[in-house]
Amino acid sequence: MIELNQIEEAACRIMANAAIDIPDDYRQGIETMVNSESGDLSCFVLKTMLENWDAATADRRPMCADSGLPRFYVKVGDNARFSGGFTGLERALRSATARATHDIPLRPNRVHPLWRTDHNNNVGINAPEIEWSFEPDVDWIDITTVHKGGLFGTDYRMLFPGDGVDGIKRFFLDTLVAFGKRGLACQPAIVGIGLGGSKDTCMVLGKQAACLRTVGDRNPDPKIAALELELQEIGNSIGMGAMGFVGKSMVADCHIEVGYTHTGGMPMSVHTFCLSSRRATVRIAADGSAAYRTDPQWFTPYMRRETVSWQSPSQDSRQSG
């Protein structure tokens, strides 16, 4: 049985990890870009960011003061057992958000949209967001937190099947060029693309693609994987780099997630994660022990299933054996 206080402690720790320590996969992606960046201002910016990440880890202070909109992604195993129920788990994550905001400290960014009321703890109506997913055959709980800025770099457009890959490329470029000027989108970053679904699903998939997959990860569909690499290359050939300066560092990686959509449409969303890509994950085992990592491992084969029922690979092998 996993106790709620174990969940709350682990959630506090990933809030600190996300805010302070840049994930290794992402840092390596940026180091690769530094080495190939020919624009001197853009290169200066990236090198300064590397220094900043060193300072953040050394001082245990946030790498970026804009805490964005801190949020959680929770994956619960079918066989996981925890005290307090689902609402108890949500309360623990809200409590962890408030505590981490004070203790790290994070900037209390969350305000009422109309009255601008700020509780100084990043908790409020519908905040923090908690998204749920499930995993068969396991007894652990994975919790990921993401701190992403939220004002620039994201857009949605209803395309149609006849617009084809040209339409996808154009809208991808439109979003990068529009929000890349002056570096409003805080590029270079991982760019996530949602294709299909309904409008809300399309936005959710693109956001998750940006925030919950690591640099170098490819979509399991080989044609989608090829499109990811093609879009990354196109993004890096705009002639723009960090802060909108001349350069070629725009897209640290491109991730595409798809959902079955209306037969007449091809909705598309584009989401630019931050140059300070802040994400951290914990897996809480059935005995309450916690293991920390930076790869959310959110998009499992189960998440991307296409059929009515699901057979886990282990069931397959049992049957074939």
- Under rule CB under 8 A, which residues in 176-205 are in contact with another protein? 177-179, 181-184, 186
List, in order, residues 6 or more apart from 30 with CB less than 8 Å away.
46, 49, 50, 188, 252, 275
Cα–Cα nearest to 268, from 279, 278, 254: 254
Bin 24: left if φ > 0, else alpha if -120 < ψ < 50, else beta: alpha
The Cα 194–Cα 200 span in angstroms is 10
**Per CB under 8 A, does 133 bind another protein?**
no
- Binding another protein (rule: CB under 8 A), the pick from 269, 276, 277, 294 is 276
Residues 112 and 120: beta-carbon distance below 8 Å: no
Strand stretches in 52-136, DSSP E: 71-77, 130-135
Min CB(166)–another protein separation in Å: 5
Min CB(89)–another protein separation in Å: 25
* Residue 263 vs 319, nearer CB to another protein: 263
Q: Would you give the binding string for another protein spanning residues 213-252, x where CB under 8 A is met?
A: ---------------------x--xxxx-xxxxx------
The Cα 177–Cα 105 span in angstroms is 34
Q: Would you give the binding string for another protein spanning residues 87-106, x where CB under 8 A is met?
A: --------------xxxxxx
Q: Would you give the binding string for another protein spanning residues 281-320, x where CB under 8 A is met?
A: ----------------------------------------
* DSSP class of 72: E
**Per CB under 8 A, does 159 bind another protein?**
yes
Instruction: From 2-10, 89-97, 132-140, 172-180, give the range in contact with another protein by CB under 8 A.
Output: 172-180
Sign of CA dihedral 22, 192, 46, 28: positive
* Residue 48 vs 311, nearer CB to another protein: 48
* Residue 60 vs 318, nearer CB to another protein: 60
Min CB(208)–another protein separation in Å: 23
- Binding another protein (rule: CB under 8 A), the pick from 71, 75, 107, 271 is 107
The Cα 89–Cα 27 span in angstroms is 32
Total residues binding another protein (CB under 8 A): 73
**Per CB under 8 A, does 171 bind another protein?**
yes
Torsion of CA 167, 170, 176, 178, to 10 degrees: -110
Give the other-Cβ count within 10 Å of 13's Cβ: 17
Q: Which residues, numbered 5-64, are part of the site for another protein (CB under 8 A)? A: 40-41, 44-56, 59, 61-64
